[in-house]
A and B are shown apart, each in its own frame.
Chain A
């Protein structure tokens, strides 16, 4: 079934540890996104990529990094996790980065930083 796969589905992480959240799509979409969702704050954009080889910062990029080596994969790395990064993380993709494109979301990764 075509779509977006995120891994892991959940993770408990000690503060200070490095963690990479994986995201893979098989729809050959050009644009990909990482969001975090916190209670009462909705979804906030962390980083995005309009096409393979390019990335950009969203609303809340500090403490996170991304790479886009190919079309399908868009990993999100927390270099040194802090408790404030406890959240649910969603990866999404869209066919292009144009404003009228809809986004397709993965099932999310629930991360707890202790």
Chain B
């Protein structure tokens, strides 16, 4: 499979700290997307970064993309309890369909 692979699989931090999750992939991409999934819910799109972009911001989220290393990172600054969720990266593969990684399970402790 050429899906994105997130690292770490699980992350637990204190509220207010920054959380960094990484995604590595094996094939060339046009863009990479990050999604969040709260427990028992569907996925929600967070941010899309194109292959010609190196960094993108959205509120407390910062995504970087290094196409030479085939990796992306998602940084959540000043974490809050509501950020507790699973985070997935997704890339296009094959018949132009999104392929999701296994996700990073983030827990924010009060």
Q: Is B71 in the interface zone, CB < 8 Å from A?
A: no
Q: Does A107 contact B (CB under 8 A)?
A: yes
| Band of interface residues on A | 20 to 34
Contact mask B72-110 → A, CB, 8 Å, 1/0?
A: 000000000000000010001001111111110000000
Q: Which residues of A contact B97 (CB under 8 A)?
A: 33, 45, 48, 58
Within 8 A of A (CB), among B11-52: 30-31, 33, 40-45, 48, 50
Query: Count of chain B residues with Cβ under 8 Å from any Cβ of A?
Result: 23
Which of A11-19, A65-73, A97-105 is found at the contact surface with chain B? A97-105
Given the complex, which residues of A lie within 8 Å of B3, measured CB to CB? Answer: 42
Q: Is the CB of A90 within 8 A of B42?
A: yes
In the complex, are the beta carbons of B31 and A99 less than 8 A apart?
Answer: yes
A50 to chain B, nearest CB (A): 9
- Closest Cβ of chain A to B97, distance in Å, is 6
The chain B residues found within 8 Å of chain A, CB to CB, are 3, 30-31, 33, 40-45, 48, 50, 88, 92, 95-103
Pick the 7 closest A-B CB pairs, nearest first. A105-B42, A42-B102, A102-B45, A43-B100, A99-B92, A105-B43, A42-B100
